[in-house]
Structures are given as structure tokens and as C-alpha cells.
Structure 1
Amino acid sequence: MTPTPALKPLLLAMLLLGSAAVFAEAPGAAKPLAELTRGLQPQPGFIQLWRDVEQGRVLLSVTALDQPFLLLSSLPYALGSNDVGLDRGQPGELRMVRFEKHGKRLFLVQDNTRYTARSADRDERAAVNESFAGAVLWSGEILASEPAGASAPPAPASTKAGPPAGGAAGATQAPQGSAHLVDFSSFLLADWHGVAAKLDENKQGAYRVDAARSAVLAAQAKSFPDNVELEAILTFQGPGQAEFVRQVAADPASLSLRQHISLVRLPDAGYQPRAYHPSSGGFDTGYFDFATPLAGSIDVRWQVRHRLEKTDPTAAVSAVKKPIVYYVDRGAPEPVRSALLDGARWWSSAFAKAGFKDAFRVELLPEGADAMDIRYNMIHWVHRATRGWSYGNALADPRSGQIIRGAVTLGSQRVRQDILIAESLLAPYGKGADGAKAQLAEQMALARLRQLAAHEVGHTLGFAHNFAASRYGNGNGSVMDYPHPVLKLNGAGEVDLAEAYGVGVGVWDDYIVNYIYGQFGAGKQEEAALDRLRAGAKAAKLAYVSDGDARAPGASHPDGLLWDFGPDSIKTWDQLTAVRQRALQTFSMDVLPDARQSGELEARLVPIYLLQRYQGEALARLIGGGEFDYGSSGDIKDGIARSGVRITPAAVQRQALARLTDSLRAEYLALPAKLLDVLTPPAQGYERGREYFGTRMNSVFDAFSAVEAASAQSAGFLLDAGRLNRLAWQHARDAQQLGVRETLGLLLQRTWQRGPVGAGVAGGEAVQLAANWVLLDAMLNLLDGAKLHPQVDAELRQQVREFGQWLAKNPGKDVVAHSRKQAATLIAQYLADPRSVKLRPLPAIPPGAPI
């Protein structure tokens, strides 16, 4: 029958419902988002997520497509090997990424932030983007899509610890479109931190993630308004045969670590970046901007720094909108914890002097807080199998230099090395000792730890090393230098450690905080204020030399020195010579606590015997050395910086050379007889490690190896190719300056060509011969290294030839004669046919740094 008008809507509704039912039941049909997430734990926030603990999955609901954000990996659980370098709390590479939709899949794409065009012209921007490769990091199937907000759960309650006062700045919410549900688990189970690559790089073998023994930790997934925090356990399968993994892992073939992933909203546009200046004392980040006017540089660099804003920008001193807050690892025990809190807090005074009231704070991490949460600036107390370096990482927005997070890694065994050095200098464990000296040793180590905490936090604030700061004021001048303990003898001739390390930040540190964080307006006003600050630093003689001109053994800047102290390298050398002599004379079993096995005495001898290793490098910097300034062309024209290199005066170079050549003489190198007589081989179950001198005498102490290590140190500094090339050039320009011939001539006169060693020196002639052979090996290795300019090589080669002739004419007696004859033969053979001679490498030197 024909339906009446009243029945038509009802029949139509029934027909539609029937069609929908058929569609819903069709095989392979997509399920709605609400059904796919039913029963799961929702986490609204920057990116809404669901925890699927039962299936070990994390589902993301992505609404903002083509909206960039930051991605960071870190390691909450790590390997524990300083040599490999995979530490607990270690941050990885900060990447700028975004989600793209292609068909039924979402792509996670990393943008190439190194090359850009900051232009209003879309085509100009596109031309650069199309010229340099980006990267698709991951793709996943879209499980469901629906209008954004349709299935949104209620807003989350605050976290147990509460949001930190510092950390990443928030931004306005991105535009909302469709919500696309994806399973993000496969991304979390991939090695984004580069663990396998790091193991391979350090020759530990080829490792790969074993999916069957890896899992997403869904219960730990968290989403906040500006960040998402995700974690997985990754098990790396590999050969397990290499030294470092065998040293630290429960099963070296199965390394289980945890990888943390942070997804972070980009900071908003309110931050005012500061142009980087080469004499600022800071770190930079940047990019190549192809939209720069033709006369400008495309190399754009911004100062790396936290966002810090006064509530009243016009006031000289003002409270801040959001303070910078750092958190100390709860795993740090006392008295270490208090030392870390105290040292890191030193920076608060510098911020106060720069006009920021209560702007910098350091607190203990709240109980229950996640130390990997990117909102927390962290000071991690990290354990490793051996002592090693500490680090400060400033993770910054690549577009502007704004620091998103500071992450400090402090190796726990360094403090024990400081105590070992102090005990070896003080010998506090003799009979009748009252414990005062042992307490002083611990106090020195804690003083160093305070300085270390301030130093590494300084890096995370955007500050670079200043290795010239030891030349001025406040103990070691700046916490951004590497400090050697300030050692001296008191009136009674005893080693004095009472003021070994400075307290608080120095004048350089006040300068860099003001320069990098101070508020001076904008544009020309800011530029003029910064110019005045640099001019003031010059007037105050605040020198600045950083890593590029300090770390190489042959570096030329006399002030770019690691682990030195004092304004005059020669005077400090003489001061440390007296301290070293006293420490070796008093070195005995009293430097070792009663419970330690006696063989450990050798390890305590190493830093005392090599006490002047860093000051020896300071002497070498004077030889062929020259000062220069960092700056801009404008600074030089305005008199703020000087151009060119100012060669070290000839008289100073010769004084340094005389002292450094003396360190290759038996009188310096020989150990006191009573010290040699107490050295005992390691006990059963113990063995020598890297902190000991090598030995070719089986279990007993090898004095030759100690002498050779010390000689290799001095010879390596003196016979650096860059240094000899500079000596040749400075002598060519000025005949009154030290040159290659004079340098090598004095070296040979003080060693091979010297007279007999006095009878009072224990094993004197044998010690001198050991040093002589290291020097000759260093000379031949220098010739074989092909790093000398041809004319410098010719000059050195001729001098070696003449030395060989001298050896033949001056054969000497007894053991000296044997060495001279063999040396003459070796020289002649090498000069005639270098390929016929297998040169000996220089002896290994036990590690000194870090101290």
C-alpha cells in the first residue's frame, strides 16, 4: 500500500537506521574513537593520550597537524660506563617535529631547522625548505578520526608533585581540527637516543633492539598542558664481548635500558632573543637564513639562555614573572646533597647583581616527581663504574636560543678522587692521628663539589668555559674555569689545603649573567648597553679563552689553560715544584686508610708524582705562545678588543723552556728511595687498573714506567708539531725570539748530552736513560707524523742527524754507552729509510682529568 504522509518520516528513519547497521557491521569498517578507547585511562593535555596498560600501548589523539613542536629523548635508566657515555638522566638531541596526514597514516616529520628563510614571502620560504632534506621519523595507521573534542575526557588533576616553577614556557593552544587516533607504541620502542650507535662508536659491538624483550611503560605515560612524557624499556641484544659492557652490565649480551620521550609545545612568541657575540662568554645556537640581505651574513646566531623577565622592565631591580628553578636529584646522599644545593645556589647572587630579585632558586626534587619530566631543570647525581666527566646541557629552541630545559650530569666518583688527592698530600692516617687532616681532606672534596655544581649549572644557563679566568681573583677566578686546587706550603713547610677552592661565583660570572640575562631595552638601546659591558670587561682585564683555544696540547694562547691556577705560570710551577717535592718526601703508608689493601698505595702515588702535569702544559703554552682577543670588527675599531696575536716575550719563553726541560732530568723524575721501599704489589684478588702506572715487571711497581709516563707528558708538550711550526715562524720574523734549533738544542743538552747523574739520586742514570729514550721516540714520531711544514721538518731532521753524529763521537761508558750506540744506530737507520723502522709510540699516561 502507499504510505500516508504521517508514515513517510518513520519509514525513512527505519531505512536509515538499517543502512547504518549494515554499514557498522561490514567487515573491516573503522570503529569510532570512543569505542577504541573505551576502558582506557585518558590523559588530556598538550596531546591527548590513552594508557592501554593491558596491551602495553600508548594511543595518541592528534589534532594539530603541521604544527611544529619539540621532541626529546633521555635515559632514566642507563649503562653506567663513563667510557661509553650513556648516563642516567642524559638528554638526547632536541628535534623540531610535526605530524602530517597522508592518506590513512600519520607521519612524524623532523624539520631541517639548520637552513631557513625568515621571510614573509611564502615562495621564498618554500625554496629553502625544498633545498634541504628533512626526515620522516615515523608513521602510523590512523585508527579512528572524529571532530576534535568529541570524545575529550575531563581535564586532569594536578600531578602529585605539582608543576615546577621553572621549565618550558607555555604557548597558546593550537587550532583544533579533526582528532586522529594512532598507536604510538612502535615509535617508543625504537632507539631514538642512539644507544646502538653509541655502543658501536665506542667499539662495543653491533647491538639492536630486541622487540620481544622491550615494552612500552603505558602506566607511566603522562600528558600536561605543554608537554607529554612517555617511557619504554628497551633491551639491546649484542655480542657482549667488549671490555666496557662486560665491566658494567649484568649480562653484556642483553643491555636493558629505559628510554624517555618528551613531546613539548614550542614556546610562545613573547621571548626576546639576544644576538650572540663571540666575547659574551656564552653558547650560541643558530641557522643559515637565506632571506638575509645580500650584504649581510646568512649565519645567524642567538645566545642560548633561559627566559627571564622582570615584572617591571624599567626598574633597576625587579621581581621576575617566573624564576629559574633547578632541582637536585633525591638520590644524592648527604653531605653531597647539601654541597650540591649550596654550590648551585651561588648563581643567585649574580642574578641579584644583574637586577633580578629572587630570580634563581635551587631546591630538592619533590618526592614522587619524575626527574625526566622536561619541566624540571635537573641536577642528576650519576653513578658509573669509574670516575669521569660531568656535563651541563642546555636544551634550546633552535629558532631563538630560548632554553627549554637544563640537565646537569654529575659523576659521583669524582669527589672520591679529590679526597684521594687530598689524603695523598696530607698523609692523615699515621699512628696517633686525630682525624683533623682526614676531615680537612673531605672538606676539600666537598668544596670542589660545590664548585662543580655551580660550573655545570652554569653551562645549562648558557655559559661557556672561560679557561683564562684562573688568571684573576676569587680563588680560581670563575666557576666556569677548570680549577686546580690551590696548593702551597705553610710556615712549617707542610702542604696547606685550607683555601684549595674558591667560594662563590667570581667577577667573570657576574659579568656573563649581566651580559646574557640583563634587560636593557631593545634594538639600539640594548646594543649600546652590551657594548658598554664588553668595554667594562676589557677595562677590568677580564680575559676570555674557551675550548677551541685551550684543549689541544699544542694550543698557543698562554691563558687558555685547564686545571691551572695563579696569574703567572712560571711562579705557579715553582710553587707546585716545592709542594710536589714535599709530598713525595712524606709519601708513605700514612696516606692510605687502615682498611685499604696496601697495593692501593701505587694509585695514590700517580696524582702526586704527576702533580705538575697541568702546570707543565701552562709552561708549554708560553713557548711559541701568543695572546689574542675574541671580538667583532666593530669591537676592534672601537677599542673594545685588539686585533692580531701578541707573541709571548722571548725572555719568558726561555724561562718556561728551561723549567720544562728540567722536568726531563733524573733529579726531577727519580723517586725518593724510602718511597720506593714501601710500594707493595696489589693483594690477591686486586689488580692494577687505568689509575695506575703501567708495569713490565709483573706484579711489582715499575719505576721505569712511571718515569716514562712523566717524560712522555713533557716531551709531548714540547714536541708538538703546531708549537714547532710557530717557533719557526716567530724566529723567522724576529731572530731574537726562541726558535726550533735553540729549543731542541736545550732539550738534548739537559738530557742525552748532560753529565753524570749524582750518586744521591736513586737509580739516577737508569732514570735519565728512561727519559732520554722517550724524548728520542717523541722526536722521531714528530718527524714521522707529517704535520711539520717542509722547511721546519728539514731543520728538525738536520738537527736529529747532527745529534746522531754527536752520539757516535761521544760513546760514554757502561749502560750509557749501550743506549748511545743504539740511539745512533736508530737515528741513522730512520733517516736513511723511515719505512724500515717500527717506531715506538709514546708511553701511556694514567688519566688525570677530571679532577
Structure 2
Amino acid sequence: MSVAKKSVNKPAPTRREGLGLSAVAAAIVLLSGCASLETPKTAAPAPAATTAAPAATPNFPGAAASAPAGTAAAAKPPVDPSAPKPFAEVSKGATQQDGLFPIWRKDDKVWIEIPKAMLNKPVLFTVNIANSVGERGLYASQMGSDWMAEFRLVGKQVQLIALNTKFRAVAEQGSKRAIEQAFSPSLLGSGAVASAEHPERKSVLVDAGFLLSDIPGYSTRLEMAYRLPYAIDRANSSIESSRAEAALSTLTARIHFATPRIPAPPLVPAPSPVPPPTPPQSTPDPRSFFVDYVYSFAALPETPMAVRHADPRLGHFMESFTDLGGDLKANPRLHYVQRWRLEKQDPTAALSEPVKPITFWMDKNIPVRYRPAVEAGIVEWNKAFEKIGFKNAVVAKQQPDDANWDNMDAGHASIRWFVGADVGFAIGPSHTDPRSGEILDADIGMSDVFARGSRRMIVEDVGLSSEQRLAQLSQNWQGLQVGEAPAQCHYAQEAAAEMNFALDLLEARGDIAPDSPEAEAFVQAVIKDTIMHEVGHTLGLKHNFKASTTITREQLKDKALTEAKGISGSVMDYNAYNLALKGETQAAFNNSTLGAYDYWAIEYAYKPIAPEQEKAELARIAARSTEPALAYADDADAGGFGPYDGLDPMANRFDLGDDPLAYYKKRLQLSQELWTRVQDRKPEAGDDPLRQRRALLAGFNQLYRAAELVGKYVGGMHALRDLPGSTGRPAFQPVEPAKQREALQFLSTGLFSESSFRFRPELLANLTLDYNEWERGVPVNLSAAVARVQLVALDRLLSANTATRLLDTPAYLAPAQRKNMISLNEVYATVQGSVWSELKSGAEIDRLRRNLQREHLKRLQTLLTRGSASLPPDALSLLRYNATRLQAELRQASGNGALSVESRAHLAESLGSLTEALRATMTRS
């Protein structure tokens, strides 16, 4: 395919490219995006095999009727004033771009030529977002929706119909007609026939203006971001550019969104815990902005690729649908692995180049200094393909700086570089042939998150929990299709926060100087790591959040081993930075190569296998899942959204080593070391005024993540993905009681203790602001930062899911194993005793501890007075039992006259509140 094919009469107009980027040095992702990251599928109609063919080829309006055979030519019919004008008359003076659907342009008019042969013939129709607002998830260079669609002629209208691929009949015994009647297709757009049928080409023109509409549903995304009624201004929207070739026609529509006015803010702020969003801050006028849609019509392969069925023991993105082609199957759901079509030029050779390599075009907006790292991240995957007989399976090409073609069309897999006012993410989605799962296009979006300036915005993002952040990123991607839960990849964004902590610590140690060659090399390694991760997604691989546990803690200290084999079993995990404690040998900081799991997943998806051997060979490959180095868990296993709270403490984002709990303890030590070094270092002339503030908050971010994940041990379950009858191992097994108690102890003595958060007054007094900015923030709220760390753990321990699993634990254990098990009452009593330890010791109650105690009491009050629809009744009984004991301890401690007036007032208020809650009549949910 020619990548820069020009139109017949003149080149396609060049679309305005994204902003140039300044020098950068940091890394983020959603994203995922991470995302485990799968492009959301809309309800799209059945593939060609399941779509009824028209009874006869329809005639276009204005087509000449042929005379019956054996008769004289019919008399000339009367002229129909409503009939379309002749093709030649409409297209006179227009330039033509010949291709799958030829495109004609004249002044501000654009027509799409629809050949009769292309009616009722499925094509891949995609919509990508080239330009956007630049904030709140509304970023440029984002891959959007795709459908298997076809043009249909209905009267004098040409309709673009999305076919329904969610329900099919794979086997012939199914009633395809019944399926077509049961499940409707969708109308994406339509336009009036603009010309009579061309006498030789047997085609008509359709005004492309039907594309100046909100086909991808972006207005819903705008409403989610701003809660304002933005609508398309058709008069100021236009087709900016177009390009056509034999298998592809693409048009870029510049859509103007506008609202007549921005509502005045209320005189009195609404009593809502969630403040209303502000209007757009990144546009000159918040009432108006443009969004570019890149529409592509791409030919589907004449022969669908051979399908490969997915196996749940390892993770690939899937083309999933309901097969109604038979009545005897226990499960009608089918899942095809999404993968590129990869065939050897020489099928008999042990190592052969492919007929068509997987080619990624590197966007011309990628800063020159980072292009080698991006390319290295792409071609690293060739190591996995060489293991299964492919040489140079993955190719990286650089888009020329003077290229007049847009790699956002459906004909170029690409690495896109974009910027955003509020940082951003990286994401690796793809578009596939729904008939087979064949990946036809992929556009990795990489935001400019490597800039050192982004460190400020990342570390001060202290207001969201991981669950809220995942929900926000899900909205930021697509999330517009009802019933869909698009997988996200926010690896780059989270990795940038990790990188910033690492750089702050290394700078504080004096190991790396800001803006030094060592810092630049560090950032280049981060870029390669992130690109490897996102390219893995576009090759069809999901996240693997158990891969980091396949490397032992001792191996992580081995410099030679980690530099040669990486720090994790997969680049598809969210891997933390391998930072040594003070005095330890520093090994490799991050992943520089593929892990064992990556080789295994590529083998399953891409290994050439003879059809008659495929079922047995794939079963053999998947059966290796019992090997410790190939442990696997996806996004739902790691939890953090919806009903999935992450019950397995070995499946996590951003941990390292075979003992995640030991890693979290180490992270507390590293945070405390950073804080000590920051306090020991005296500010110098020329310092960034936010340097100390940034380092302080970076340490809190590390502890917040640790607190969130340590809680997974309590009431946790080890989960395995073995198929029934394959190994004899239990699918679910409660976490060892000793490990659960160790996690509780760490929370009690580490994160719930005020001694973990001791700072010198002179540090807090010198955490200045950036007075050049209007939105400069306020002095650091230390109590809020500590509460954020503590409350995420407290909420986990008191959650309904934790209670349910602890109450169900005896059912998973033999009678002899139940003697040492941890009970729900032990957890509640341990938490309460830790939070209120001063009641027994008689010690003064620090302000940070008073805050923690109030938060614990708030949760007790709510459950005692309102109940909970999800918390088991036994859990409510145990909470009341422990609350009654707490009431007695508060009553006794209130008489301690040696305490400060603040502590005595706090105890009196706490006693009164708890007494009222215990006396109240419960209003059950």
C-alpha cells in the first residue's frame, strides 16, 4: 500500500497537525489506560456470513431502465423534475481521489462515490479523534469507535448501517433469519443521492455532509466533562481533508461544537460533596471549540483470517459474541483472540520474514530525542516472534516531517504523540475484523507525560482514590456505548508518578542530578518501557498483574540479572521502580526487555499451527499456566472498579517481588528516607520553589498505594485460573492466616501510627507556593494527606466484601484448618484496638490520631444508625458488639484529667456521639 498516494488531480488538503512539543523528561499513561486496554465495541450488525443478501441489485435513482429483450427501445419516459442530475453535471469541475470509495471535491462541496457493487457489502468503518479540547480526557490522537458497516439504498437515500455482530449463527443449523429479525442493526448516518447513476461506472454521488454529525457520540463525552449543552454547529463544520486508495477512503471532518452561553454560577454554592465542573479552561472562548473526526472506510479481507479461540489461562483481547447457531451448547458465548494476520513468506523455513509485517508508523510529532527509545520499544517484540519462527515481524517506520497524510486513518498503525493541559495518559487500542478477530489497525496514543514539568501536576493529584481514578479514565476514553466497560490502560500516568518519586529520591541521595545525562538516560528507559507495554496491547495482549510476583526479592537485587531479564515476568504488568534501600546494591530500575509471560502469550496467539493440530497444540501451550514464571491475572482480578475489589493480594498494580507485603513495607521505608533527606537538605538559591513540597507529596502517594493494597490481604483469596479437571488445585484458597495478621499489624503499627508522619516544623514552614500562578494552591494540609493514606486502608477493612469473605472462610477450609483462621471479629477488634490504643495506655492523643478516630467513629455511626444493604447481618452484629465495648472504654478514659483539653473534649464528643448511635433506632437500607 502506498502511504502517500495523491489524488488524481490534486493532493488531498493537509490537515493541521498537533502542537510541537518542547523538551521533555517524564512518563504517564489511561489509559489506559493501562485498562487491561481493549477498544470498546458498539452494537454492530452481523458479519457478511450472517447478513441476508439482497434479492436483487438495486437500481440507483435516475438509472436508465433497459428495454425488454427482443423489443424495440422503449419510448423516452417523461422527465422527472425530482430526479437527480446526471453524474457528469454534478461532478463537473471537481477533483477526484480514486479509491475504495472515490472522493470528489469542488469548492466547499465533497461527495463520496458509491459504486453499485459496494452496496450491501460490509466494510470496516472507523472514527478517530485527531484534534480535541486538550483537557479532562478530551485529548487529540485518540482511536475511537469502529463498526462493520455497509451502505444500503433506501429510495433516494443512501444509509450507512452498522451491522449487528453481537449475535451470530456460526453453525449452519442455526436460524440466521430469526437472528436478523431479533437483533436490530443501527443507522449511523444517511445522505440523499446527489447524482444519477454514472453510465459506465455504475455508481452515484452522495453528499459527504452526512459525516458532519456526531456519529461517535462525542457530545455525550462533552456533557460528562462539562455538564453543558454543547451541540454541533453544522454551518461552521467542514470536511477538512480527504484521501483515497484502493482499499481505503478517509475523510477528516472538523466539527464545531458550541453553546449559546455559559450559565452563571449559583449565588449560593449547592450543598453537594461534588463541585460542579468548570467550563473549558483550555480554549480561548469556552463557548466554542473544534474537534476533528477522522472517518475511514476500509475494505475487509475477502477471506477472513482463520480464527483462534481464546483460553482464560492467559490474557488476550477478544472478539466476543453470542453464537445462536445451535441449541445444545452449555455456553453460547464464543471468544476469538484478537491478533494480526501473520504468515511466513517461506512456510517451510524455521525462520522466515512475514508476507506482511506488523508496521508501526512513528508520528512526526514525536520529539527527535525520544524517537530512538520509541523505536526500541516497538522492535523489542521481535524477540518473541523470532521464538516462533518470524524474522522482523514488527517494523517501526518514521513518518516524514513533510508528510501530508494522517496516520490516524485506518490504513496506518501508529504511535501518536499528543499533549494535554492536565497531563494525560497512554493507550494502545486497536480496530478488528469482527468476523475473525484480525487486527486491522492500531493507534497508540502517547501523551507528553515525560516532561519534567508534569511532575508537579502528578504528585499533587491527591484527591482521587484508585477506584475513582479508574472510573474517571473510563469516562475519559469512550464509555459511550451502553453496556460496555472499555478496558483502560493508564500505565504511563501511573508510571510517571512512580518515576517522579524515584527521581526525587535519587536526586535527594545525590545519585542523579536534575537535567543530567543520567536523568536523561533514566527517562529514555522509561519511554522504552512504556512503549513496549502499549505495543503489547496493540499486538492483542491484556494486562498481567501477577507478572511482577514471578521475580524474587533476592533476584531484584541482582544487577546483572535484572539488566538482562528485567524486573518482572512481563512488560504487560504495571511495574514499580526497583529502588534499593539505603546501603543496598542498586540493580536495574525498570524493565528493559520482554518477560517469560510475553513470549508465552505471543506464542499462543501467533504460532503457525496446521489446522488439524491446532486444538491439541494450543491446549499444550496453555497448559504451561502452572509454571510459576507464567502466573497471570487481569484488570478485574486486580480490582479497583465496579464490583471487583481485588480479592487476590498477589494481583496488583505497581508492586515488585514475590512478597508484595514486604514490598509495601519497603516503600514506607523509602518514603521516610526521602522525607528525612528533604528535611536535612537546606534550600539553595535557584531551587524550584515547589521542590520540597513535591517530594513530600510524592512520598504520600507511595504510601496511599501501599495502604490500598495491604488491605487486600485481610479476607483475601488466592485465585487460580486453572480449567476444571486440569490440575486438581483449588480455584480459590483463603490467604494464610499468618499473612493476614502480618498485614493487619503493618497497618496498625505503620500506617495508623502518628510516628510514621513526623516532620520538622522548619520543613512545613518552608513549603512555599508558586506565586507566579493564580491557582497557586494553599499551604500543605498535612492532616488531609495522612488521612488519605489511612482511610483507604480503613475503608477496605470495614468493607462489605471483606466481611463477606471472612465470614465465608470456614466453608473453604477443612475442620482441622479452621483452628488458626482469622475471624471477622478479630479484624474488627484489632482495627478498633489499634485506632483507639490511647484509651488503654492513657497517652495523649495526637491531632492526626484524633482525626483517624473520628473517621472510624463516623463509619460506626453510619452503620449503627442506617445499616447497610451489602454488609452481612453478622457483620453488623459484630460491629455493634465492638462498639459497645468501645463505649465502655471511652467512658473510662474520659476521666483522665492529665490529658490536654483537646483530647478530653475529643473523648467527650466521641462518647456522646457513639452513645447516641447505639441508642438510635436503625433505619435499615
Range class of TM-score, shorter chain:
0.7 to 0.9
Q: What secondary structure, in the 3-state scheme, does the structure 1 residue paired with 2:429 have?
A: strand
Q: What secondary structure, in the 3-state scheme, does the structure 2 residue paired with 1:182 have?
A: strand
1:563 maps to a residue whose letter is F
Q: Are 1:75 and 1:260, in contact at CA under 8 Å, matched by a contact in 2?
A: yes
Q: Match for residue 141 of structure 2?
A: 89
In the TM superposition, residue 782 of structure 1 has moved relative to its aligned partner by 5.9
Residue 79 and residue 592 in structure 1: after superposition, are their counterparts in 2 closer, same or farther (change >3 A)?
Answer: farther
Instruction: Write the mapping of 1:667-686 to structure 2, written as runs, cut at 5 A.
Output: 667-683=755-771, 685-686=773-774
In the TM superposition, residue 830 of structure 1 has moved relative to its aligned partner by 2.7
Residue 460 and residue 42 in structure 1: after superposition, are their counterparts in 2 closer, same or farther (change >3 A)?
Answer: same
Please state if 1:706 is matched with 2:727: no
Instruction: Write the mapping of 1:591-740 to structure 2, written as runs, cut at 5 A.
Output: 598-599=689-690, 601-633=692-724, 637-639=725-727, 642-662=729-749, 663-683=751-771, 685-688=773-776, 699-730=778-809, 734-740=818-824
Instruction: Give a deviation string over 1:17-72, Cα, whole Å, max 9, x none.
Output: 9x97x967x855542212211111112211122122x1332332332211111111
Of 53, 56, 67, which residue of structure 1 is paired with 2:121?
67
Please state if 1:507 is matched with 2:596: yes
Q: Match for residue 134 of structure 2?
A: 80
Q: Match for residue 295 of structure 1?
A: 329
In the TM superposition, residue 547 of structure 1 has moved relative to its aligned partner by 0.7
Please state if 1:183 is matched with 2:225: no
Instruction: Write the mapping of 1:815-826 to structure 2, written as runs, cut at 5 A.
Output: 815-826=902-913
Q: Match for residue 658 of structure 2?
A: 567
In the TM superposition, residue 779 of structure 1 has moved relative to its aligned partner by 4.3
Residue 568 and residue 27 in structure 1: after superposition, are their counterparts in 2 closer, same or farther (change >3 A)?
Answer: closer
Residue 139 and residue 576 in structure 1: after superposition, are their counterparts in 2 closer, same or farther (change >3 A)?
Answer: closer
Of 567, 571, 579, which residue of structure 2 is paired with 1:487?
579
CA RMSD of aligned residues (A): 3.0
Please state if 1:413 is matched with 2:449: yes
Residue 270 and residue 211 in structure 1: after superposition, are their counterparts in 2 closer, same or farther (change >3 A)?
Answer: closer
In the TM superposition, residue 204 of structure 1 has moved relative to its aligned partner by 3.0
Q: What secondary structure, in the 3-state scheme, does the structure 2 residue paired with 1:604 have?
A: helix
Of 345, 367, 388, which residue of structure 1 is paired with 2:424?
388
Please state if 1:139 is matched with 2:185: no
Instruction: Write the mapping of 1:259-658 to structure 2, written as runs, cut at 5 A.
Output: 259-367=293-401, 368=403, 369-413=405-449, 416=452, 417=455, 418=496, 420-427=500-507, 435=513, 438-473=516-551, 474-491=566-583, 499-523=588-612, 525-552=613-640, 554-588=645-679, 598-599=689-690, 601-633=692-724, 637-639=725-727, 642-658=729-745
Q: Match for residue 51 of structure 2?
A: none
Of 126, 142, 152, which residue of structure 1 is paired with 2:177?
126
In structure 2, C-alpha distance between the alignment counterparts of 1:475 and 1:758, rounded to whole Å: 47
In the TM superposition, residue 458 of structure 1 has moved relative to its aligned partner by 1.0
In the TM superposition, residue 439 of structure 1 has moved relative to its aligned partner by 4.2
Instruction: Give a deviation string over 1:670-728, Cα, whole Å, max 9, x none.
Output: 33445334322442534356xxxxxxxxx433222222222223223322221122122
In structure 2, C-alpha distance between the alignment counterparts of 1:142 and 1:830, rounded to whole Å: 72
Please state if 1:253 is matched with 2:287: yes
Q: Any unmatched runs of 5+ in structure 2? A: 1-71, 264-275, 456-495, 552-565
In structure 1, C-alpha distance between the alignment counterparts of 2:282 and 2:721, rounded to whole Å: 43
1:206 maps to a residue whose letter is P
1:680 maps to a residue whose letter is T
In structure 1, C-alpha distance between the alignment counterparts of 2:863 and 2:144, rounded to whole Å: 39
Q: What secondary structure, in the 3-state scheme, does the structure 1 residue paired with 2:161 have?
A: strand
Residue 539 and residue 95 in structure 1: after superposition, are their counterparts in 2 closer, same or farther (change >3 A)?
Answer: same
Please state if 1:227 is matched with 2:248: yes
Q: Match for residue 152 of structure 2?
A: 100
In structure 2, C-alpha distance between the alignment counterparts of 1:250 and 1:592, rounded to whole Å: 38
Q: Are 2:189 and 2:211, in contact at CA under 8 Å, matched by a contact in 1?
A: no
For CA contacts below 8 A with separation 6 or more, give which structure has more relative contact order: 2
Instruction: Give a deviation string over 1:720-766, Cα, whole Å, max 9, x none.
Output: 2211221222257624211222112222222212379999xxx9822
1:516 maps to a residue whose letter is A
In structure 1, C-alpha distance between the alignment counterparts of 2:691 and 2:921, rounded to whole Å: 42
Instruction: Give a deviation string over 1:217-245, Cα, whole Å, max 9, x none.
Output: 2xx21111111100111111125567464
Instruction: Give a deviation string over 1:156-194, Cα, whole Å, max 9, x none.
Output: xxxxxxxxxxxxxxxxxxxxxx31221121x21001122
In the TM superposition, residue 599 of structure 1 has moved relative to its aligned partner by 4.5
Q: Are 2:577 and 2:589, in contact at CA under 8 Å, matched by a contact in 1?
A: yes
In the TM superposition, residue 273 of structure 1 has moved relative to its aligned partner by 1.1
Q: Are 1:731 and 1:738, in contact at CA under 8 Å, matched by a contact in 2?
A: no
Q: Match for residue 560 of structure 2?
A: none
In the TM superposition, residue 572 of structure 1 has moved relative to its aligned partner by 1.4
Residue 294 and residue 823 in structure 1: after superposition, are their counterparts in 2 closer, same or farther (change >3 A)?
Answer: same
Bigger drift between 470-479 and 769-778 goes to: 769-778
In the TM superposition, residue 318 of structure 1 has moved relative to its aligned partner by 2.2
TM-score, normalization: structure 2? 0.77
Q: Are 1:627 and 1:646, in contact at CA under 8 Å, matched by a contact in 2?
A: yes
In structure 1, C-alpha distance between the alignment counterparts of 2:320 and 2:282, rounded to whole Å: 38
In structure 1, C-alpha distance between the alignment counterparts of 2:842 and 2:580, rounded to whole Å: 28
2:233 maps to a residue whose letter is D
Q: What secondary structure, in the 3-state scheme, does the structure 2 residue paired with 1:572 have?
A: helix
Q: Are 2:672 and 2:699, in contact at CA under 8 Å, matched by a contact in 1?
A: no
Q: What secondary structure, in the 3-state scheme, does the structure 2 residue paired with 1:486 have?
A: coil
In the TM superposition, residue 585 of structure 1 has moved relative to its aligned partner by 0.4
In structure 2, C-alpha distance between the alignment counterparts of 1:96 and 1:591, rounded to whole Å: 63
Instruction: Give a deviation string over 1:291-327, Cα, whole Å, max 9, x none.
Output: 1352353211101111111223344422211110112
1:787 maps to a residue whose letter is S
Residue 631 and residue 781 in structure 1: after superposition, are their counterparts in 2 closer, same or farther (change >3 A)?
Answer: farther
In structure 2, C-alpha distance between the alignment counterparts of 1:299 and 1:592, rounded to whole Å: 62
Q: Are 2:675 and 2:695, in contact at CA under 8 Å, matched by a contact in 1?
A: no
Residue 767 and residue 682 in structure 1: after superposition, are their counterparts in 2 closer, same or farther (change >3 A)?
Answer: farther
In structure 1, C-alpha distance between the alignment counterparts of 2:887 and 2:515, rounded to whole Å: 52
Residue 245 and residue 80 in structure 1: after superposition, are their counterparts in 2 closer, same or farther (change >3 A)?
Answer: farther
Q: Are 1:670 and 1:767, in contact at CA under 8 Å, matched by a contact in 2?
A: no
In structure 2, C-alpha distance between the alignment counterparts of 1:453 and 1:89, rounded to whole Å: 16
2:538 maps to a residue whose letter is T
Please state if 1:58 is matched with 2:111: yes
Q: What secondary structure, in the 3-state scheme, does the structure 1 residue paired with 2:182 have?
A: coil
1:502 maps to a residue whose letter is N
Q: Are 1:287 and 1:301, in contact at CA under 8 Å, matched by a contact in 2?
A: yes
Q: Are 1:286 and 1:399, in contact at CA under 8 Å, matched by a contact in 2?
A: no
Residue 702 and residue 497 in structure 1: after superposition, are their counterparts in 2 closer, same or farther (change >3 A)?
Answer: farther
In structure 2, C-alpha distance between the alignment counterparts of 1:605 and 1:743, rounded to whole Å: 31
In the TM superposition, residue 407 of structure 1 has moved relative to its aligned partner by 1.5
Of 847, 850, 856, which residue of structure 2 is paired with 1:775?
856
Please say which structure displays the higher CA radius of gyration: 1
In structure 1, C-alpha distance between the alignment counterparts of 2:788 and 2:215, rounded to whole Å: 41
In the TM superposition, residue 436 of structure 1 has moved relative to its aligned partner by 7.3
Q: Match for residue 916 of structure 2?
A: 829
Q: What secondary structure, in the 3-state scheme, does the structure 1 residue paired with 2:435 have?
A: coil
Please state if 1:40 is matched with 2:89: no
In structure 2, C-alpha distance between the alignment counterparts of 1:740 and 1:36, rounded to whole Å: 78
Residue 682 and residue 782 in structure 1: after superposition, are their counterparts in 2 closer, same or farther (change >3 A)?
Answer: farther
Q: Are 1:59 and 1:181, in contact at CA under 8 Å, matched by a contact in 2?
A: yes
How many matched pairs?
764
* Percent of residue pairs bearing the same amino acid type: 26
Q: Match for residue 4 of structure 1?
A: none
Q: Are 2:103 and 2:110, in contact at CA under 8 Å, matched by a contact in 1?
A: no
Q: Match for residue 792 of structure 1?
A: 875
Bigger drift between 648-657 and 792-801 goes to: 792-801
